[in-house]
Structure 1
Amino acid sequence: MVKPTQDIPSPDFFGPDAIIYTPAQKNTFTQTWAAYGQVPSNIKHGWKLYISSSIQNYYDILTTIAPILIQHNTCFKYARSLRVLKKINSGFAAYSQIGKAIVAYLQTCNDIDSLIIALKQTLSSYSGLCPIVPHANAIGRGLPLYYRYGSYQSLEITHKATSFSDDRTNPNQYKQLGLQDPFIPHLEPVETDPDLEDFLTKYPIFEAKMQAWKGGTYLALDISKNTYTEVIVKIGSSRGIHPQDVRATGKDLINHEYLMYQKMYAAGLEQLLPNIIDFKQTPMHSILVLEKIPGQNLQHHRLTNQLSPQSLHAAANILKQIHREDFIIRDAKLDNFIQGNSPTDLRIIDLESASSIHDQPSIMTTFFFENPDIDDPIMFDHIHLIVSSLYKIDRAAQIETFKNRIIQIHNMIRSISPQNSIEAYALNMLHKFAIMHKLQNASQRTRSFSPSLQ
């Protein structure tokens, strides 16, 4: 079972051979990775096994496979927090690093065959539910297991007195070294989607913005015209199930988002939205290609202390325009508003949770409210937006649990001391909503809402 509220264990959780990296080593390393075991200094390169994980299943995968790695005398490192994993899976470090939640160094392994058999059996229930690792060979069957031969300590591989650059974009570099692939007996068919691959030849991807259980969001080039332009490509998989709503696959969400764009265009709201460039459904995926709107989202402006009350007011006005046409956004937040040349030059993106005001509202939101009377969908949109501008940055950046995103409005109003004009403005708006709609506080609650953690 997924345990999204669990902390990621420190290395000593797994046993006495844990190593805690010292300040003398690279800070970026100590902030990013924790490790178990020490690769001997004379082993410079070898086979690496990557175990991929999403935010939702990382704790379970790590604590399940770590004892198997230890049993096979295999040193490994792992992302030391969910915040780090989120950066890895978004391509923050590099596109080639996506999915590398756990890295095992197999030159220390006492029995590779036995290890792979055990991991395949243990991880079978996670098939198709984890990010794909680029530029690595897949074990297959959708398992979160990938491998390549590479350097353990530097950017070079020295073999028979010849040095090679460790090309992390080439999963088959071992062939240059005259090595045999020890994983061949364990490989299974890799599920491919030729229709997806063919479609993406028009929109080659060059950067991942996000990869998760459902698919991913990418920056790509539209090369179908004489002048190349950057576009956003959103891919939803038929095998990725949403952790909050097991009824929705990634493909379902992309199909729904495409439908919502069409409905909002038909209602005359196209000036608030990015343009649809292309859309494609295959048996395994849905792909939505959107205009890349110039500018940064309002969360970026908040993090860089550039968010103004005018921008938050403009975002609220966009919600009002959408509500007038009988639509709701549901997951309205700073991340989903892109600011152009001025604080009031905004457009809204990401309609996966949007719907008609008359439909059953989506449960896929960033925040949840204990207040029992925030059941009006229009009020929910506005309060969700305001809360996204007040939620503490250090916790919001980690997005660690559902629990720390369940908000009690009165507690938030009481606990926040405004640090700048935007917080003062947002807090005043929230207070007005609480008075206007006579929101009950926790002691007056007759019921509470808690999101499904399935």
Structure 2
Amino acid sequence: MRKIADSNHFQFINNNHSYYYKNKEHVDEKNEFDVLLELNDTHKKAVKYKGEFWNYVTLVDDKHTQGWKIHISSTIENYLRIFYLVSKYCISQNINFKYIKNMKMYRLSHDKSYSRESAGKFIVIYPCEKSFQTVIESLYKILHNFKGQYILSDKRYKDSQCIYYRYGEFYPIYVLNELGVKESFILDDNNNYYKDERLPYYKKPHWVDNIIDELYLEEKESLLLKEYNITSVINFSSTGGTYIGSKNNKEFIIKEARAFTGLDRTNNYSKDRLLHEKKY
């Protein structure tokens, strides 16, 4: 069975309530995202729909149910600026997108307990395939100096620190599995169901060709982890792993803190807390 944090059960238990039910207490009050959207949508051409976790902005009637999509991450310091720039670009280019609806959901998506494969996703952009490379390159230029959390399920675009992409559902086909968990599917090249898995690593469906033909920069390996022989894993979370390793015949517990993960109420990240733990 999957961990609670890796399933949609997390939405049901995050209520501080005695009963197990999905949280429907999110009041759709006007927030900073709505204000920025209004500034960018001067011609009032966007059709907006408010969901429980995401808000959706439709600018073109696109019938594609799956394809290549772009994920944008951010930090607590730059999220408003990123939202303004990305929404402005998408509206000007008539590109559909969705975004985390408010700050409560934003903080939830950066929480240590949130699923590793979904953590950090702030804005999701749905370009048509023929313009995908133009769109992602334009966003790369717009957001070149911005940072955000690494999205584990995706491929990083060039050397960007906030732009990632993967192939998956636009409008998912939902099926309940034997555990009663709702899972999403796409169709393969033979129109058979193919599970659209969100994994803590990048995986492209076998029948899909790479959308971008380029030499990818190799991800930097942890110099610290290379010094140790990792023998087992104690735990994984969205902030990183806790491992048992050895060096020079001594055994150690090794803690990982991924950049811009585990945002807490004091606006500190997991890296800040781990440095504090090391100090004291």
Query: Take 2:210 and 2:84, find their aligned partners in 1: how far apart are those partners?
Result: 28
Higher relative contact order (CA 8 A, sep 6+): 2
Partner of 1:34: 55
State the one-letter code of the partner of 2:97: F
The answer to whether the 8 A contact 2:59-2:95 is kept is no
- Listed one character per residue, the Cα deviations across residues 242-263 of structure 1 (whole Å, up to 9, x for unaligned) are xxxxxx998787445413x2xx
The answer to whether the 8 A contact 1:45-1:151 is kept is yes
Q: Say if 2:185 is the partner of 1:156.
A: yes
- Listed one character per residue, the Cα deviations across residues 205-232 of structure 1 (whole Å, up to 9, x for unaligned) are 4222xxxxxxx4x4646487xxxxxx89
Specify whether residues 57 and 42 from structure 1 end up closer, same or farther in structure 2 by C-alpha distance, changes over 3 A only: same
Specify whether residues 205 and 70 from structure 1 end up closer, same or farther in structure 2 by C-alpha distance, changes over 3 A only: farther
Q: Say if 2:253 is the partner of 1:235.
A: no
Partner of 1:192: 220
Aligned residue pairs, count: 221
TM-score computed with the length of structure 2 as normaliser: 0.65
Specify whether residues 162 and 80 from structure 1 end up closer, same or farther in structure 2 by C-alpha distance, changes over 3 A only: same
Within the candidate set 40, 49, 52, 1:14 is matched to: 40
Q: Secondary structure at the match of 2:187?
A: strand
Partner of 1:182: 211
The answer to whether the 8 A contact 1:65-1:119 is kept is yes
**Residue correspondence of structure 1 range 290-439 to structure 2 within 5 A:** none
More strand by percentage: 2
TM-score computed with the length of structure 1 as normaliser: 0.42
Partner of 1:139: 157
More helix by percentage: 1
Query: Take 1:252 and 1:43, find their aligned partners in 2: how far apart are those partners?
Result: 42
The answer to whether the 8 A contact 2:154-2:166 is kept is yes
**Residue correspondence of structure 1 range 39-58 to structure 2 within 5 A:** 40=61, 42-58=63-79
Identical counterparts, % of pairs: 21
The answer to whether the 8 A contact 2:59-2:96 is kept is yes
Specify whether residues 64 and 121 from structure 1 end up closer, same or farther in structure 2 by C-alpha distance, changes over 3 A only: same
Within the candidate set 88, 91, 104, 1:70 is matched to: 91
**Residue correspondence of structure 1 range 90-239 to structure 2 within 5 A:** 90=111, 92-107=113-128, 111-126=131-146, 129-154=147-172, 155-159=184-188, 160-169=190-199, 171-174=202-205, 176-177=206-207, 179-185=208-214, 188-198=216-226, 201=230, 202-203=232-233, 205-208=235-238, 216=239, 218=240, 220=242, 222=244, 233-235=255-257
Query: Take 2:67 and 2:258, find their aligned partners in 1: how far apart are those partners?
Result: 34
Q: Secondary structure at the match of 1:31?
A: coil
State the one-letter code of the partner of 2:87: A
Query: Take 2:107 and 2:204, find their aligned partners in 1: how far apart are those partners?
Result: 28
**Residue correspondence of structure 1 range 250-289 to structure 2 within 5 A:** 254-255=274-275, 257-259=277-279, 261=280
The answer to whether the 8 A contact 1:76-1:105 is kept is yes
State the one-letter code of the partner of 1:112: F
The answer to whether the 8 A contact 1:156-1:164 is kept is yes
Partner of 1:289: none
Unaligned runs of 5+ in 1: 1-5, 23-29, 209-215, 225-230, 241-247, 262-454
The answer to whether the 8 A contact 2:242-2:256 is kept is no
The answer to whether the 8 A contact 1:73-1:110 is kept is no
Query: Take 1:93 and 1:19, find their aligned partners in 2: how far apart are those partners?
Result: 29
Query: Take 2:119 and 2:112, find their aligned partners in 1: how far apart are those partners?
Result: 5
The answer to whether the 8 A contact 1:39-1:75 is kept is yes
Q: Which has the greater radius of gyration? A: 1
State the one-letter code of the partner of 1:123: L
State the one-letter code of the partner of 2:149: P
The answer to whether the 8 A contact 1:74-1:110 is kept is no
